[in-house]
Amino acid sequence: MKKLILTFFVAFAALSIKAQTMAFTVLEIKVKKFTQDKIAEDFDNLFKDVKVNKGGIVLERIGRGRTEGMTHRLIFMSTLGVDLIDEDAIDPNKNDAFWSKMRNYVEEWGPFYSGRILSWQEGDTEKYSMGHIWDIKVTDQNQFKEGHDKIVSEFADDFKGRVVGFGTYDFGLPNGATHWLALTGKDTDDHLLLYDKLEKNPKFIKLISSRGKFELIKDFEINILKRKQ
């Protein structure tokens, strides 16, 4: 698995495109009970002094809606054409030790998939650490993105401080989904209050419809445990 992650870094670093498109790879895992704090501690030990180039590495806990018992996700976000981490940035011994410990913590290795980030509003992930993610099938990607961006712009005050994202699944297509939406909040009540407010606004409903046809595949909850940028 360690080699798989490193291969991901090399593969994306080799790509060269004009636009600064962000890409990501997600690794879902099922960890043994009472190991979350140890994994978070080892995450800090490995990455705390590492410089990340135009990207980020995230450790999340999966809540409601998890697939096949998977409990956590490791996400590697990078800018296409840019090395996420310099080749000599991580001590090989520390890297080996981290993945050796991970093998002890992980009960089962789950889905492994990659995609791109087409729209992204950065947010305060300490204040808004709970995320809601929708996996969807989109009919017209450009139309959906245009509608999504208008929603984020028109309701900027409501989305202030929250991560709001939209992007593709290009490899691995979890459950057959082609795209995803992401939104962060404080907790369940905070998310529900926001949905209730927005859905009572006719302008919001009109903009939602402007995104075109799509199919909801599933939705799930995540909690951001660690984030290295």
- 6: confidence class by pLDDT, cuts 50, 70, 90: very low
Contact in structure between 163 and 122 (CB atoms under 8 Å): yes
Q: Are strands 106-121 and 56-62 parallel, antiparallel or unpaired?
A: unpaired
**Per-residue pLDDT, 4:** 43
- Which of 15-19, 30-34, 82-86, 140-144 shows the lowest per-residue confidence on average (mean pLDDT)? 15-19
Architecture category of domain 117-225 in CATH: 2-Layer Sandwich (3.30)
φ/ψ region of 68 (left if φ > 0, alpha if ψ in -120 to 50, else beta) reads left
pLDDT tens digits, one per residue of 162-198: 999 999 999 999 999 999 999 999 999 999 999 999 9
Q: What is the percent of the chain with per-residue pLDDT over 70, rounded to a whole number? A: 92
Helix (H, G, I), strand (E, B) or coil at 142: helix
pTM score above 0.85? yes
The residue type found at 198 is: L
pLDDT higher for 12 or 88?
88
Segment holding 201, helix H or strand E: none
Of 115, 73, 107, 100, which is closest to residue 225 (Cα–Cα)? Answer: 73
**Per-residue pLDDT, 229:** 86
Domains 2-115 and 117-225 share a fold: yes
**Per-residue pLDDT, 19:** 54
Q: What average pLDDT does the segment 12-21 reach?
A: 50
Tokens of 82: 């840019």
pLDDT of 206 over the 80 cut = yes
* CATH number attached to the domain at 2-115: 3.30.70.100
Q: Which residues pair with 138 in a beta bridge?
A: 214
Q: How many CB atoms lie within 10 A of CB 34?
A: 8
Helix (H, G, I), strand (E, B) or coil at 190: helix
**Per-residue pLDDT, 41:** 95
Computed over every residue of the chain, the mean pLDDT equals: 91
pLDDT of 12 over the 60 cut = no
Tokens of 168: 């593709």
pLDDT tens digits, one per residue of 107-159: 999 999 999 999 999 999 999 999 999 999 999 999 999 999 999 999 999 99
Q: How many CB atoms lie within 10 A of CB 193?
A: 13
Distance (Å, rounded) from C-alpha 161 to C-alpha 127? 8
The residue type found at 19 is: A
| Extents of the domains making up the chain | 2-115, 117-225
Contact in structure between 185 and 123 (CB atoms under 8 Å): no
**Per-residue pLDDT, 214:** 97
